[in-house]
Amino acid sequence: MIFWELLRVFALTLTGLTGLFLIGLVIQQASQLGLSIGQTLAIIPLLIPYTLPYTIPTTTLFASCVVYGRISHDNEAVAMKAAGVNLHSILRPAALLGVLMSLVTFGLAYTVIPNSNATLQTQILKDPEEVLYSLLKRERTFRANNFPYVIHVKDVQGRRLIDVIFKRKKMEKDNAGKDIWLGVYDYVIRAREARLRVVMPTPDKPNEPTMLFIDPDRWVGADGTMSIETGSSRPVGVPLPDVFSPKDVNDRPMNLQWDELPPKAHEFELEYLKAVSQQIATAKIIATTTDLVLKDRNEKHAVGLKYLAEHWMRQIRNTQNEYYMRPALALSCLVFALIGCPVGIWANRADYLSSFVICFLPTVFAYYPILLAGSNMARDGKVPMPVGIFAADAIVAVLAGLLTIRLVKR
């Protein structure tokens, strides 16, 4: 009876919570990428699996809090204990629900969610030109992270951009090797009218970037640092940022199946070791050469190799982070179910709102910050990857065990 009541509350809550998450994701994707109504409707089914690793664990927690809170409020727990029923027996349904939902969540994260993510990104990027036109029509501006260009338009009429301003940011690398904007522009050019063209990589050259071309009637207002002279009508071509490029969709960690992540991390490790070996060889040349020109050239090369090695190390850690994060999120279903039982009985509330405020919110607000902090520390190399990612599950499991022992002895 307890198990079926848990399932009933779980199904009801999962539907509502997934709907709320889905609304937020749809709004975010549509606003970030400028999706049309048709594109937005097409991606909704593909976004649902992405929400489940977060909604299933929290729904399991909420169901446990509500059901066991009602059992305590109606004095059923006291009656069972008075009848000689061990309280461990009434905790088994929650443990069973937690195990089942952990298996379901991990099964989804193993292959279903990566495939849906890859399909989603492919679907969105099937026509990046249309996405860009929609974005410019709504925002009148296009700028993106790691994209050193800014495009402003006064209006979009069909495939015509009216009064286009194209700027290139003046970038400089910081100590971590990341590009930062200095707040000024290398050049600013303007066209009365222009059109966009997106050129995808050809099958014989799959590693080339996806290029965005701005084809104007005539550029005006270029300064001295610009290679296009005033009055030129030559198109400007720039690589699209990764968010609009389908080239690496199948190589991103979030789009890989779980068993594909270790080989991918190994590929990144080989690239990292190659960069490190080149660093060592370059350092030897710098230390032994007396040719100042050669030394200067190798010193600049060494800086680039340092940034390259750091890039591959970030790729390794991001892939390893994805590898451990999926089972950690799946395991949270079990630990949430186990802690929801004693907390719900202690709260002694039968209504949904009280369970939400007393049981659900404190647990969620404690678990996910710990999970994110541990994940960030592991990604930065401050703690071992399994320790950082599974720390939140371990803490909640220990608390659940202590509260359960106290409940049984009470």
* pLDDT at 223 > cutoff 60: no
Confidence of residue 225 (pLDDT cuts 50, 70, 90): very low
Helices vs strands, H then E, count in the chain: 11, 7
At residue 276, does pLDDT exceed 60? yes
Tell me, what's the pLDDT at 321? 92
Q: What is the 3-state secondary structure (H, E, C) of 291-304?
A: CHHHHHHHHHHHHH
Q: How many CA atoms lie within 13 A of 314 on its CB side?
A: 10
How far is 125 from 130, CA to CA, in rounded Å?
9
CA distances from 83 to 78, 93, 391, 404 (A): 9, 19, 39, 19
Closest listed residue to residue 214, CA positions, set 200, 229, 230, 193: 193
Quick: pLDDT tens for 147-190.
788 888 988 888 888 888 888 877 666 544 556 566 677 778 88
pLDDT above 90 coverage of the chain, percent: 15
Over residues 279-319, the pLDDT tens digits come to 888 888 888 887 777 877 788 778 778 878 887 888 899 99
Q: How far is CA 378 from CA 254, 389, 399, in A?
A: 17, 7, 23
Give the CA distances from residue 243 to residues 9, 144, 308, in Å, rounded to whole numbers and listed in that order. Answer: 38, 9, 21
Place of tokens 């050259």: 205
Q: Is 153 exposed, middle or buried (0-12, 13-18, 19+ CB in 10 A)?
A: buried
Considering only 58-72, 175-189, 358-372, which range has the smallest mean pLDDT? 175-189
Residue 52 CA from chain centroid, whole number: 14
Angle at 26 between CA 138 and CA 364, to 5 degrees: 135
Contact call for residues 282 and 305 (beta carbons, < 8 A): yes
| The pLDDT of residue 115 is above 90 | no
CA of residue 348 relative to chain centroid, distance: 37
**Given a cut of 90, is residue 104 above it in pLDDT?**
yes
At 121, list the tokens.
């990104």
Q: What is the pLDDT of residues 377-409, one digit of tens each?
A: 998 888 899 999 999 999 999 998 888 888 776
**Confidence check: pLDDT of 230 > 50:** no
Predicted TM-score (pTM) of the model is 0.72
Question: What percentage of the chain exceeds 70 in pLDDT?
Answer: 83
**Confidence at 227, pLDDT banded by 50, 70, 90:** very low
What is the distance between the alpha carbons of residues 127 and 105, in angstroms, rounded to a whole number?
32
* Greater pLDDT, 148 or 327: 327
pLDDT tier at 126 (50, 70, 90 boundaries)?
confident
pLDDT in the model for residue 266: 92
Q: Alpha-carbon distance 76 to 74, whole Å?
A: 5
Each residue's pLDDT tens digit, 39-62: 777 778 888 888 889 899 989 988
Domain ranges of the chain: 2-126+316-409, 129-245
- What are the structure tokens assigned to 327, written together? 């089972």
Q: How far apart are the first and last CA of the chain?
A: 24
